[in-house]
Copies of this chain bind each other. A is one copy, B any other.
Amino acid sequence: METINTRRLSTRDIAYEYIKGQIINGDLVPDSPIIEDQVAKELSISRTPLREALQRLEFEGLISRQTNGRLKVSTISVHEVNEIFQVRSLLEGLLAREATLKASENDIKELRTFTKLIVEASLLDNRKDVVRYGSMFHNYLYSISNNQTAVKILLQLNDKISRYRRIGPIRDSMRSKTAAEEHQDLFNLIEKRDAIAVEDAMKLHINNSLKSAVKSIEEYIAQREEMEE
């Protein structure tokens, strides 16, 4: 008989997923203090596995330790966003190139579907779906790229910026449209198996989204400063 390896989720992992979710979806805002005892009670678990979960989040940069030893939810600076996008640009380019070389006919079909969904969502001005299907497109490339080292890094970086991906009103409507076009271009080049061109196009695509991300974060920061007064 085959036993599927369904390894019960540990207390630590439950805590990790829960807190990470809270940070990414905004329930826990930047600079919020994190008190181990409080969180432990909230989750009805002991501090031991909680601390392990928090340590992991600290490694990944979602929370950070202050000089006095206390933890808080990390903020992000414009400088850091720039750093992250520089790295993302290179690694996404790498993975896109590798994926182009390795993609099967079926992979192409899948990517065509995602591209179609992205374009349709952008025509309906549904920016949330543009982001959603965009992520799927990228993640699919990750999965066929065969470079786990780069993928692991990218997933972490993506977590760090995703919570700032505010879906603003007018400006982002434009970005949605061009992002959709860029995905269409990317797909066409992948289909043509032009790996070098795909790499360049992907790097450009990421760099274009940088500006939008920086604006989001500047708005986020400004908004929070307003609230403090």
Contact = CB atoms under 8 A, between A and B. Distances in A.
A18 to B, nearest CB: 18
A56 to B, nearest CB: 7
A87 B55 contact: no
Contacts of A67: 5, 7
A149 B59 contact: no
A83 to B, nearest CB: 4
Contacts of A94: 86-87, 90
Please give the count of copies of this chain that the complex contains. Answer: 2
Nearest to A81: B149
**Interface of A: prevailing SS:** helix
A150 interface: yes
A207 B45 CA distance: 48
Contacts of A123: none
B52 A150 contact: no
Contacts of A59: 56, 59
A-B pairs, top 3 by smallest CB distance, nearest first, are A83-B149, A90-B90, A83-B147
A2 to B, nearest CB: 14
Contacts of A52: 51-52, 55
Given A5-B67, A48-B48, A150 B86 contact: yes
A14 interface: no
26 contacts: A5-B67, A7-B67, A48-B48, A51-B52, A52-B52, A52-B55, A55-B55, A55-B56, A56-B59, A59-B59, A80-B148, A80-B149, A83-B147, A83-B150, A86-B94, A86-B147, A86-B150, A87-B91, A87-B94, A87-B147, A87-B149, A87-B153, A90-B90, A90-B94, A149-B157, A153-B153
A90 B87 CA distance: 9
A84 interface: yes
The interface centre, meaning the residue of A56, A86, A91, A94 with most chain B CB atoms within 10 A of its CB, is A86
Contacts of A51: 52
A59 B153 CA distance: 11
Contacts of A157: 149
Interface string A37-70: 0000000000010011001100100000001000
A124 B59 CA distance: 42
